[in-house]
Amino acid sequence: MNNKSTSILLLSLVLLPLYASASPRVGGWRPLSDVNDPHVVEIGKFSVSEYNKQSKAGLEFVVVVSGESQVVAGMNYRLIVAVNDGVETAGAGASKNYEAIVWERRG
């Protein structure tokens, strides 16, 4: 092998592991790039609405604080949503954070 082809081979062997470690894992959770995206906000509102239906609670959606997504047979969203409990108390206006996991079927 000449010196030029040896250098290219070594460079390829060095860059390949860097590329492999930088690519997202299949099925792994990845941070959402924009929690204010209208679709993400819609999912946050949906999660609070469904929780209210099932538990007879009166929580009010405020904002999506943070979140992650995971590609599965569709998309999983793991969101931290801020909500108000809808009860007038001395500390009114203070929201609480809850974790919501929503599976969205694509198709």
Predicted confidence (pLDDT) at residue 83 exceeds the cutoff of 50: yes
Mean predicted confidence (pLDDT) in 50-74: 94
Predicted confidence (pLDDT) at residue 15 exceeds the cutoff of 50: no
Contact residues for 63 (Cβ-Cβ < 8 A; gap 6+): 35, 41, 44, 81, 82, 95
pLDDT-derived band at 11, boundaries 50, 70, 90? very low
Q: What is the pLDDT of residue 17?
A: 45
pLDDT-derived band at 25, boundaries 50, 70, 90? low
Cα 43 vs. chain centroid, distance in angstroms? 11
pLDDT-derived band at 106, boundaries 50, 70, 90? confident
- Give the containing element (helix H, strand E) for 72: strand 60-72
Q: Which pTM value belongs to this model?
A: 0.70
| More confident of the two residues 3 and 82 | 82
